[in-house]
Amino acid sequence: MRKPHLGILIKPVSYDCNMACDYCYYRPVEALYPDRKRPRMSPEVFDAVCRQYRALEPRRINVGWQGGEPTLMGLDFFRRVIEIETSNARRGDCWGNSLQTNGVVLDDEWCEFLARHHFLVGLSVDGPGELNTMRRFPNGKPAFDITMRALELLRKHQVEHNLLVVISRTNVEQPDRIFQFLVDNDCHYAQFIPCTEPAGPVGGLSGHSITAEQYADFMLAMFDLWVENDDPTYYIRRLDNWIHQFFGLPPECCEYREDCSNLVTIEWNGDVYPCDFYVTEEYRMGNVRKSTLEQMLNGPEFRKFVRRAEALPPMCDGCEWLKVCHGGCYRHRAKLGIEQQETPYLCEAKKRIFGHVFETLERIKGGPADNELHRFLNHIGRRVAQERMAARAPAPARGGAPSGRRTSSARRAAAPPSGAGRNEPCPCGSGRKFKHCCASRAPSGRRG
C-alpha cells in the first residue's frame, strides 16, 4: 500500500511552546498527554526512530522537526541528533533535517550549529508587524520584533531558511503588503498556509479562519504579483507546486498528491500518527519502542486513515481539475465536519485558482509577444528540469513543514543524478529532448 519516500515529522516537545498564537492547531494535542507537563523526546526514542526510518528509506532520509516549538529541546539535544543520525548513516545516504520555529530562542550559537549541519529552517511570520498580531507571547506581547531579530541571525549565519506565513482573517486582505514584505526583507522562499481551523469538535470555521473565496482572492493576487515581479529567484511553495503540475511533474506538497500515505508524525514518546492534523487517539498507530514503522504503516489505523482520505466526494468524479486537485486536503473535508457527499471546503477556490494559473502559464509559455514573461517561464522550466535531473525529490511535506527547492543534509554522501526522463521533452518548453537541453546544465545535487 505504501509508496516510497516516506517523510517524517517529529514533535520532540509535542504541543509545548513558548508562545501562545491565537490560531495554533496543535495545542489540543495536550489532551492526549494529560499527565505530562513538559513532554520531551529522549535520545533513545530518536535513535529508535532513526534505525526504523533508515530500514524503510535506506538512502533518502528527511526529518522534519516541528512543534509546538521544537527548539525548547535545547541545542544539546540537537547535537545528539546529529551524532545519532551520523551513527545510523551508511555510505551513499542523504540525510536532511528541517526545523520549523518561531525563532524566539535562536542566537548566534544556534545559528552556527544550524548552518554547520545544513538545517533548512522555516521561520513563522505573518507579514509586517501590523499583520503579525496573531503571533504573540502568553502575556499578550507581540512577537514581531523577536522574529525579525531571528531572521537577521539566520541571514548573518547563512542558514538556509524560508518564511511560513499563515493566512488568517488578519492578513488575508493584504497580499500586496505581504509580497512587498518578502521583497523588502530579501526573503526568496515562502509558503502560505490557509488558516482553516474548525470552531470546535463538530466542525464549522473558527473566527480566525478564512473563507474559500478569501483564499482564492489571496492566492490569485499573490500569483499575479509574483508573475509581475518577474524574478524567478522568488519561490512560493504552492505556486511552485502548480508550476510543477503544469509541466506534468509530480508536486511535492501532499495536498496535491493522490493520497495521504507518505507522511507520518512521531510524538515525543515515540507514538506514531499519520499526518499531524490527525494526532488523535483514533489514529494512534503504535509506538516505535514496541512496533516497527513498517508494521505500523501496514496496521489498521493507518490503513483506515488513508482509505478515508482517499474517498472522494461524488462531485470530484469527472471534474476537469481532479488530476491536479485530487479532492484537496482531507482535513478540509473531515475536520471541518463536511460530510463525504458534500462539496469540499476550498473546492470552488481551487477551481478559480487552477483556471487562472494554468491559463496564465499557458499564455506565457505560448506567447512570443511577451518576451520577458516567456523568458521568465523558460527560466522556471529550466529550474524545474534541473531539479528533476537532480532527482532527489523531497519527501512529501505537509503544509506546515519547512520546504523549498533547497534541501539540507546532516550527511550528504555523493549520489549521482538519476537521469530520469532523459529522452522526454524538456520541461522548459524548448521542444528538444531533456538530455540535449537543460539536462546538460543540471547540477549534481539538489543544492546549488
Where on the chain is the footprint of ligand SF4 (CB under 6 A)?
254-255, 260, 263, 275, 277, 309, 315-316, 319, 321-322, 325, 327-331, 344, 347, 350-351, 398-399
Question: Residue 398 CB, nearest distance to ligand SF4 (Å)?
Answer: 5
Question: Residue 287 CB, nearest distance to ligand SF4 (Å)?
Answer: 21
Could you give the dihedral angle defined by the CA atoms of residues 269, 272, 274 and 280, in that order, rounded to the nearest 10 degrees? -60
Q: Is 169 left (phi over 0), alpha (psi -120 to 50) or beta?
A: alpha
Distance from C-alpha of 103 to C-alpha of 96, rounded to nearest angstrom: 20
Of 67, 55, 53, the closest CA to residue 96 belongs to 53
Active-site entry in 16, 93, 217, 276? 276
Which is nearer to ligand SF4, 42 or 360 (by Cβ)?
360
Which is nearer to ligand SF4, 104 or 319 (by Cβ)?
319
Distance from C-alpha of 391 to C-alpha of 444, rounded to nearest angstrom: 10
- What is the residue type of 334? A
Which is nearer to ligand SF4, 187 or 312 (by Cβ)?
312
Instruction: Return all residues near 16 (Cβ < 8 A) that are at least 6 apart.
Output: 38, 39, 67, 68, 69, 72
First to last CA, the chain: 34
Question: Residue 431 CB, nearest distance to ligand SF4 (Å)?
Answer: 31
Question: Residue 265 CB, nearest distance to ligand SF4 (Å)?
Answer: 9
Which is nearer to ligand SF4, 88 or 100 (by Cβ)?
100
Residue 89 dihedral angles phi and psi, to the nearest 5°: -80, 150
Vertex 278: Cα angle to 276 and 279 (nearest 5): 75
Distance from C-alpha of 223 to C-alpha of 414, rounded to nearest angstrom: 36
Which is nearer to ligand SF4, 117 or 237 (by Cβ)?
237
The secondary structure of residue 216, as a DSSP letter, is H
- Please, are residues 154 and 106 in contact by the beta-carbon 8 Å criterion? yes
- Please, are residues 357 and 216 in contact by the beta-carbon 8 Å criterion? no
Question: Residue 260 CB, nearest distance to ligand SF4 (Å)?
Answer: 3
Which is nearer to ligand SF4, 186 or 317 (by Cβ)?
317
Question: Residue 327 CB, nearest distance to ligand SF4 (Å)?
Answer: 5
Of 288, 278, 316, the closest CA to residue 398 belongs to 278
Which is nearer to ligand SF4, 197 or 255 (by Cβ)?
255
Residue 227: strand, helix, or coil: helix
Which is nearer to ligand SF4, 298 or 418 (by Cβ)?
298
Question: Residue 104 CB, nearest distance to ligand SF4 (Å)?
Answer: 25
Question: Residue 13 CB, nearest distance to ligand SF4 (Å)?
Answer: 21
Which is nearer to ligand SF4, 67 or 103 (by Cβ)?
67
Distance from C-alpha of 375 to C-alpha of 364, rounded to nearest angstrom: 9
User: For the purposes of burial, counting CB atoms within 10 Å of the CB of 342, is it exposed (0-12), middle (13-18) or buried (19 or more)?
Assistant: middle
Cell 522548459 maps to which residue?
428
Distance from C-alpha of 39 to C-alpha of 443, rounded to nearest angstrom: 42
Q: Is 230 left (phi over 0), alpha (psi -120 to 50) or beta?
A: left
Distance from C-alpha of 254 to C-alpha of 235, rounded to nearest angstrom: 18
Distances (CA, A) of 13 to 65, 73, 172, 397: 10, 7, 30, 20
Look up 126 and say whether it is catalytic.
no
Provide the annotated active-site residues: 276
